[in-house]
Amino acid sequence: MSVGKVWLVGAGPGDIGLFTIKGMEVLNSADVVVYDSLVGQGVLSKIPSGVKLVNVGKRANHHTMPQEEINRVLVEEAKKGFRVVRLKGGDPFLFGRGGEELELLKEEGIPYEVVPGVTSPLAVPAYNGIPVTHRDFCSSLHIITGHKRAGEEYDIDFEALVRTKGTLVFLMGVTALEDIMNGLLKGGISPDMPAAILQKGTTADQKRIVATVSTLKEETMRRGIETPAIIVVGKVCTLGERFAWYEELPLSGWKVLVTRPKNMISKTAAKLREKGAEVLELPAIRTEPMEDKAKIREALLKLSAYQWLVFTSPTGVDVFFEEMRSFGIDVRSLGSTKIAVIGEGTRKKLQDHSLNADLMPEVYDGDSLGAALAALLDGTERILLPRAEKGNENLTKLLKETGAQVDDIPTYRTLYENSLLIDEKMELESGNIDCVVFTSASTVRGFVEGTKCEDYSGIRAACIGKQTRAAADAYGMQTFMAEKATIDSLIALVMEMKNRETLTKRESL
């Protein structure tokens, strides 16, 4: 067997939008992913299914696996012929011990590449409106590890750092904040020098505390801080309030869980991120074509016999045309057949196949579709309804009541799934999720099946339509419904939900 290869990939500081294009390309082709605790959940959710996963921990003072063992794992997996991705928070070569991992790979003759990552000393201040350099204040930047072994003194020349008159960024130094500030004071820095501590930058839990070198410790104790966080010292810290931009976005500070199927989730997530939300993409369902294709094949061979073709989901459209392709049936076989769709998303998916819908109801649900189409029928029509295995039975009933012949054929089934990397139940029960977005009743059921929480009354559910809302209501969730059954309307609903929460908090003060 040929030797595989190792990629050291920087995952960035947290925001999935800061994960590099090359990093994503390498991750998508991985056989094995060795990841640590500082990798953002957004990046973890992008790891392909079927990949071998190795969690090595790696937070300060809490190592799941010693560095020597990590090095050995990389070599062993590569020698099996696998494509191994060592996924590291931030950048592999900035206090990431990437150099140590390469040493053994080099000795063993294992091919490797390094994919740099966006690093927190630059990205986190930027998300907090703090430019690490500014010609009016400083002309240099210095990045220092704030980590030290318990009971040992810092091996840092604080006097030299102070003499640079540059911006100082300390990583992994939260627990030693007082020692760092005292070291700078002994090194001659002004007690009034601006200093900041920046919590969980680029995520919904981002928080900025700005004080001075002499008061930062006291202010941090008063207001509280969580790790990971970085410390910034320098006059540029005064610009944070003036240049702040991230918290101005309408959904900043909110962590939103999106449950759509994997092949449909990206656009929804992108729209939410554009508004400032931290989005956790954890599909609650997946779809797969039915194994028994006899009925759909029979229907496709007589397409021209149907007066109407009805689609109730974007997935249904994709599966139908894939079945046509697999059986070698030309789209011209549709002839004069008219097409009805349940809503905007399905209409757009149909347009991807260069076809326009002849009918779309004003309200995007199965009952409205059935009523709108039934009003056009005289009872002599033949209708093809290719859709999910478990669909809205009332739709078929409404159409058959006109006398029309309806071939209701299941073309795909919906299966529930949950994440192997992220503990959704813990995220929910610890209050880390501000809102869960549901685009169908099946995503609600898949979400419940995957999380198995005892109580869902604390979940804010943004629902695309009344059937979805009814499913969420059945589990006692706090439900809200979009004005229209479109993704844009759903995004507007999430923003309205956040605005309500903000207003409620202000009124309670």
* HSE-CB of 163 using CA atoms within 13 angstroms: 4
Say how far apart CA 87 and CA 52 lie, in whole Å. Answer: 13
Residue 351's identity, in one-letter code, is Q
User: How many other CB atoms sit within 10 Å of the CB of residue 333?
Assistant: 13
The SS3 assignment for 467 reads: helix
Which candidate, 265, 314, 266, places its Cα nearest to that of 285?
265
Asked about 65 being catalytic, the answer comes back as no
User: Does 58 participate in catalysis according to the annotation?
Assistant: yes
Contact 129, 239 (CB under 8 A): yes
DSSP tag of 48: P
Element (H, E) at 66: none
User: Whose structure tokens read 């202010």?
Assistant: 219
Q: Which of 5, 31, 58, 360 is catalytic?
A: 58
Alpha-carbon distances, residue 26 vs 109, 276, 282, 433 (angstroms): 20, 27, 21, 29
Burial environment of residue 298 by CB neighbours within 10 A (0 to 12, 13 to 18, 19 or more)? exposed
Single out the catalytic residue among 5, 15, 88, 172.
172
Among 19, 44, 105, residue whose Cα is nearest residue 70: 105
Tokens 């969730």 locate to 477
Contact 89, 203 (CB under 8 A): no
The DSSP result for 15-58, as a single string, is -GGGS-HHHHHHHHT-SEEEE-TTS-HHHHTTSPTT-EEEE---
Element (DSSP H or E) covering residue 206: none
Integer Cα distance of 225 and 232 in angstroms = 14
> What amino acid occupies position 211?
A
Task: Report yes or no: 339 and 308 within 8 Å, Cβ to Cβ.
Answer: yes
> Shortest CA distance to 163 belongs to which of 185, 145, 127, 187?
187
Q: How far is 261 from 313, CA to CA, in rounded Å?
A: 12
How long a stretch of residues is the chain?
509
DSSP 8-class letter at 264 = G
* CA 157/CA 111 separation, integer angstroms: 38
CA–CA distance, 47 with 115 (Å, rounded to integer): 16
Looking up tokens 């390498």, which residue turns up?
A: 26
Q: Kindly calculate the radius of gyration of the chain based on its CA atoms and give it in whole angstroms.
A: 28
Residue 172 annotated in active site: yes
- Please provide residue 505's backbone torsions phi and psi, each rounded to the nearest 5 degrees: -65, -40
Active site positions, annotated: 36, 58, 172
